[in-house]
Amino acid sequence: MPGFEHFGDAERKEVNDVLETGVLMRYGFDAMRNGHWKAKQLEHDLQEYFQVNHAQLVSSGTAAVSVALAVAGVGAGDEVIMPTFTFVASFEAVMMLGAIPVLVDIDDTLTLDPQAVEAAITTKTKAIMPVHMCGSMANLDALEQICKEHNLLLIEDACQAIGATYKGKTLGSIGDVGCFSFDFVKTITCGEGGAVLTNNEAYFKNADHFSDHGHDHVGNDRGAEGHPFLGYNFRISELNAAVGVAQLRRLPEFLEIQKQHFTILREALSTIPEITFRRVPEGGEENYSFLSFFLPDTETSLKVAAALKEAGMDGCFQYYNNNWHYIRKWEHLKELKTLYPLSQEVKEGLSYLQTKTFEQSDHYVGRNISCLIKLSWTEQEAKERASKMVQVIKEVLG
Catalytic residue numbers? 186
CA-based radius of gyration for the chain:
21
Q: What is the Cα–Cα distance from 70 to 214, expressed in whole angstroms? A: 12
Q: How many CB atoms lie within 10 A of CB 251?
A: 17
The secondary structure of 173-216 as a DSSP string is SSSSEEEEE-BTTSSS--BS-EEEEES-HHHHHHHHHHTBTT--
The secondary structure of 91-137 as a DSSP string is HHHHHHTT-EEEEE-B-TTSSB-HHHHHHH--TTEEEE--B-GGG--
Q: What dihedral angle (degrees, nearest 10) is formed by the CA atoms of 250, 135, 327, 394?
A: -120
- The residues that bridge with 294 in the sheet, in sequence order, are 276, 368
Query: Between vectors from CA 311 to CA 308 and to CA 313, what angle results, nearest 5°?
Result: 55
Decide: 286 and 145 in contact? Cβ < 8 Å: no
